[in-house]
Chains A and B, each alone.
Chain A
Amino acid sequence: MSDNNSNPNSRRDFLKIGSLIGIGAVAAGAAGYAGFAAQDGKEGHAGEAETALSDSEKKIKVLTEDGQLAEIKASELSPVQKDEYTSALQEQGREGIPGKHWVMVIDLARCRNVRACMASCQNAHHLREEQHHINVLRMQDAEHTEPYFMPKPCFHCDNPPCTKVCPVDATFKRQDGIVLIDNERCIGCRFCIAACPYSARVFNWFEPKNEEEDQDLLYNVELNVPQKKGTISKCLFSADRLREGKLPYCVSACPNGVYYFGDLNEDAVTNGTSGETTRFSELIRKNAGYTLLPELGTKPNVYYLPPKNRMFPFEFNGKTTLEDEHHG
């Protein structure tokens, strides 16, 4: 579907490191991405078959001298090599995908709180049960209006309050608009949590969920896995998937066609459920799309379509109204 070769320069840099290691080339099916830590096959998305690897033989995909992908056992990497690969991944991750400006559209009329998005996201990013990169909230705008479900990822703002306050560049905005986390850099001051008005960020208060299994994995800044104790995590627009030309985890997991995702510079968004592509500007204009709390001036890159002509009536815990909720 795509051959989005990353910036030639970054690729060349990566090859240098590849040649340091000099692993024999192994033909790999998926071309087009320059280094990616293979995750254990537990992700189990609908319609996506991934080879399951047992923890003991976890493999890492690396790019070799001649631009081929190779798989090596994580345990065979020396610490020095591991560092080199990690920093190459980090460099590529910090750079982003040139020419892109990712945007998401969430159709509130279609959401019925299935939470497939939340599940697939937590799976992909190895999150604990209470950690949400995307959270489906129950909202009610005024007393007499109907409640509705509102999935809330990170909005990857164009005037991000979180990256403003980070003292060490551990959270930063890349050229394609994605606000990423570098948990190898993060000092855990949590200023970004305080700064984010959308409560989009979570913290690893304890050892992360898959701490032991993930030990050998290369740190992929575009996936923020392995998670690390004492650092921040948040929605990354599945930067690792975008690099492969795939839609984000949550977007493709949704069974109800809630999510559209695409490139603002192409003015096109693709529905994760039906695969249909429409013009972003048209979709937003025709459906009176809006962004959340625009008065804060954060300029979000996630748009909502109002919950009008709802496909599914609101129902939560057997109730059709919102009562006894903790007020936010």
Chain B
Amino acid sequence: MSESLSKEQAKKLVDKYAEDAIRPMKNHKGFLPWMGFLGLVMVVFGYAYYIQLTEGLGVTAMRDYVSWGLYISNFVFFVAVSLVGMVVSAVLGLAGQKWVKPITRVSEIIALGFVMVAGLVIITDMGRPDRFLNLFMYGRLQSPIVWDVTVITTYVAISTLLFILPLIPDLAFIKKKMKDMPVWQYQLYNILSLGWIGTPEQYKILHKSIRMLSIIIIPVAMAIHTVTSWLFASTLRIGWDTTIFGPYFVAGAFVAGTAAVIIVMYILRSNYKLQDYFTDYHFDMMGKLLVLVSLLYAYFNINEFLVPAYKMKTGEAVHLHTLFQGVYAGLFWVVQIIGMGLPIFFMIFKHWRKPNNLTFIAVIVLIGAFLKRYIIVVPTLLHPHLPIQNVPEEFHHYFPTWIEMAVTAGAFAMSLTIITILLKIFPVIPMWELAEEKGITEEFEKYD
């Protein structure tokens, strides 16, 4: 890539960028049915949530002991997936991993889609969503929930900036290039491109700003998941009362997020012929990244389970027993072995890091990551310090009702809708960054 390209080659390359970037934004035969499907899921969600609002949270399977269930594990999962924006665009970017450039925008979009819905998901768990504003009117600084609200709001803001900033040159470009777009879309590009003319000074300021955001997003992203883990670790519950919950959750989030990016990459690649950007090499590298973060996560899992299992304190023993060989054993071992152990093993082999195979593994890892959150939340609540007595039989168990499942599906639909719309409106290929890498920024800016 060091050799300079001729004028023609450069123009051809920019031509290609433009075409490939605009293609996914054009009509696609699958778009409307897909949006229709998401819309349908959201209608079911609306109906289920309406029932929950009118009848009370009792329509869920949650009761006084298992008082947090699927909704909270959803929340943790959504926050986890949203962390990937930071990993890919900030950590790898700052580490000078050039290959990651084409993936940055995808991961930022996923991050936005999931973190915005995480905020909504937590509202579905509230007994009095009508009093949501109390959090701001009477917010209590000592509560981790207030920290979580603060840090998630901050993460949404930084992610939005980190999404919009690298879009500026591309939007200015597309504004010129794309002809048949509606007025609102042109207006949107016009406003967001901030009168970009591509002077070196503008480039300098842009680079500096992106760098600032990339640095500041790292602690904030760590914080969103660490604070989320503190919702559990700050209690005195067996199974949650552990000091490694912060890094344990962050490591788990890397896994979930990386898997999510691989899946979206694959969908874009096969639907919009973007194999020149999401190449086999990218999948290979993402596969290696997934192995790395999965190993890190496995390390925390070993610490989290082996250490208490070695000691078998009274309460811990009961909790671990349910996980290892009790009611939750099936789920637990599926998550640990199929969701984490086997994927690590297979991905060590290059063959399994090919796009198709890796995507298959990523889907399994992502499902495992979702179930893992469920296993973290529910079993602990079934084992309080004092026995559960003098309550109806249903208080001793938990399995989500259809309402909870519908709300969960709705949350995913919302996330996917946001992601789909963002992919539809904004170019998924960071053209100017690729051009810059090839040393053809001038051609990119002068293009007409």
B140 within 8 A of A: yes
B386 within 8 A of A: yes
Given contacts A164-B143, A165-B142, 6 further A-B contacts (CB under 8 A): A189-B125, A189-B127, A189-B145, A205-B57, A296-B385, A328-B387
Interface digits, A144-163 against B, CB 8 Å rule (1 contact, 0 not)? 00000000100000000100
B131 within 8 A of A: yes
Please pick, from B57, B143, B389, the residue contacting A191 in the complex, using a CB distance under 8 A. Answer: B143
Q: A190-B67, A207-B56, A296-B236 are in contact. Are A130 and B385 (CB under 8 A)?
A: no
Interface-central residue, A136, A170, A195, by most chain B CB under 10 Å: A195
Which chain B positions have C-beta within 8 A of A205?
56-58, 62-63
Closest 4 CB pairs of A and B: A188-B127, A328-B387, A230-B127, A205-B58
Q: A138-B387, A195-B236 are in contact. Are A203 and B64 (CB under 8 A)?
A: yes
A14 shortest CB reach to chain B, Å: 22
Please pick, from B129, B134, B143, B384, the residue contacting A199 in the complex, using a CB distance under 8 A. Answer: B384
Minimum CB distance partner of A298 in chain B: B236
A194 within 8 A of B: yes
A168 within 8 A of B: yes
Which chain B positions have C-beta within 8 A of A195?
234-236
Which chain A positions have C-beta within 8 A of B389?
135, 137-138, 325-326, 328
Which chain A positions have C-beta within 8 A of B140?
166-169
Query: Which parts of A119-157 form the interface with B (CB within 8 Å)?
Result: 130-132, 135-139, 152
Which chain A positions have C-beta within 8 A of B234?
164-165, 195
Interface digits, B26-58 against A, CB 8 Å rule (1 contact, 0 not)? 000000000000000000000000000001111
Minimum CB distance partner of B235 in chain A: A195
Interface-central residue, B125, B143, B146, by most chain A CB under 10 Å: B143
Q: A168-B140, A230-B128 are in contact. Are A327 and B387 (CB under 8 A)?
A: yes
A325 and B235 CA atoms in complex are apart in Å by 26
Q: A138-B389, A327-B387 are in contact. Are A167 and B143 (CB under 8 A)?
A: yes
Q: A165-B145, A167-B140, A187-B132 are in contact. Are A206 and B384 (CB under 8 A)?
A: no
Minimum CB distance partner of A295 in chain B: B236
Query: Which parts of A224-258 form the interface with B (CB within 8 Å)?
Result: 229-231
Interface residues of B (CB under 8 A from A): 55-58, 62-65, 67-68, 125-129, 131-132, 134-135, 137-140, 142-146, 149, 231-232, 234-237, 318, 381, 383-392, 395-396
A293 and B238 CA atoms in complex are apart in Å by 13
Interface digits, A40-79 against B, CB 8 Å rule (1 contact, 0 not)? 0000000000000000000000000000000000000000
Please pick, from A132, A168, A202, A292, the residue contacting B135 in the complex, using a CB distance under 8 A. Answer: A168
Q: A165-B234, A191-B231 are in contact. Are A199 and B386 (CB under 8 A)?
A: yes
Which chain A positions have C-beta within 8 A of B65?
199
Please pick, from B127, B134, B318, B391, the residue contacting A327 in the complex, using a CB distance under 8 A. Answer: B318
A112 within 8 A of B: no
A116 shortest CB reach to chain B, Å: 14
A181 shortest CB reach to chain B, Å: 12
Is A165 a contact partner of B387 (Cβ separation < 8 A)? Answer: no
Is B236 a contact partner of A164 (Cβ separation < 8 A)? Answer: no
Minimum CB distance partner of B321 in chain A: A327
A186 within 8 A of B: yes
Which chain A positions have C-beta within 8 A of B318?
327
Chain A contact residues: helix, strand, loop or mixed: loop
A197 within 8 A of B: yes
Chain B contact residues: helix, strand, loop or mixed: loop
Residue pairs across A and B with Cβ atoms less than 8 A apart, 5 shown, are A168-B140, A193-B67, A202-B64, A203-B67, A203-B127
A185 within 8 A of B: yes
How many chain-A residues does the 8 Å CB contact rule pick out? Answer: 49
A207 shortest CB reach to chain B, Å: 6
Is A161 a contact partner of B57 (Cβ separation < 8 A)? Answer: no
A35 and B129 CA atoms in complex are apart in Å by 31
Is B395 a contact partner of A194 (Cβ separation < 8 A)? Answer: no
A207 and B129 CA atoms in complex are apart in Å by 15
Interface-central residue, A296, A298, A328, by most chain B CB under 10 Å: A328
Is B127 a contact partner of A169 (Cβ separation < 8 A)? Answer: no
Is B56 a contact partner of A168 (Cβ separation < 8 A)? Answer: no
Query: Which parts of A189-227 form the interface with B (CB within 8 Å)?
Result: 189-191, 193-195, 197-199, 201-207
Interface digits, A272-303 against B, CB 8 Å rule (1 contact, 0 not)? 00000000000000000000110010100000
A144 shortest CB reach to chain B, Å: 16
A246 and B395 CA atoms in complex are apart in Å by 34
A291 and B140 CA atoms in complex are apart in Å by 29
Is A326 a contact partner of B135 (Cβ separation < 8 A)? Answer: no
Q: A168-B138, A229-B56 are in contact. Are A187 and B127 (CB under 8 A)?
A: yes
Which chain B positions have C-beta within 8 A of A326?
387-389, 396
Interface-central residue, B67, B125, B137, by most chain A CB under 10 Å: B67
Which chain B positions have C-beta within 8 A of A166?
140, 143
Which chain A positions have C-beta within 8 A of B139?
167-168
Please pick, from B58, B235, B392, the residue contacting A161 in the complex, using a CB distance under 8 A. Answer: B235
Which chain A positions have C-beta within 8 A of B142?
164-165
Minimum CB distance partner of A165 in chain B: B143
Is B127 a contact partner of A204 (Cβ separation < 8 A)? Answer: yes
A142 shortest CB reach to chain B, Å: 10
Please pick, from A189, A194, A292, A327, the residue contacting B381 in the complex, using a CB distance under 8 A. Answer: A194
Which chain B positions have C-beta within 8 A of A187?
126-129, 131-132, 134-135
Q: A169-B138, A186-B127, A194-B67 are in contact. Are A206 and B386 (CB under 8 A)?
A: no
Is B128 a contact partner of A132 (Cβ separation < 8 A)? Answer: no
A279 and B57 CA atoms in complex are apart in Å by 45
Which chain A positions have C-beta within 8 A of B395?
130
Please pick, from A170, A189, A197, A199, the residue contacting B126 in the complex, using a CB distance under 8 A. Answer: A189
Is B128 a contact partner of A231 (Cβ separation < 8 A)? Answer: yes
A328 and B395 CA atoms in complex are apart in Å by 12
Which chain A positions have C-beta within 8 A of B64?
130-131, 193, 199, 201-203
Minimum CB distance partner of B146 in chain A: A167
A230 and B134 CA atoms in complex are apart in Å by 14
Is B127 a contact partner of A185 (Cβ separation < 8 A)? Answer: no
Which chain A positions have C-beta within 8 A of B143?
164-168, 191
A189 and B135 CA atoms in complex are apart in Å by 11
Minimum CB distance partner of A139 in chain B: B387
B424 shortest CB reach to chain A, Å: 35
Q: A138-B387, A165-B235, A166-B143 are in contact. Are A185 and B138 (CB under 8 A)?
A: yes
Minimum CB distance partner of B57 in chain A: A205
A161 and B149 CA atoms in complex are apart in Å by 20
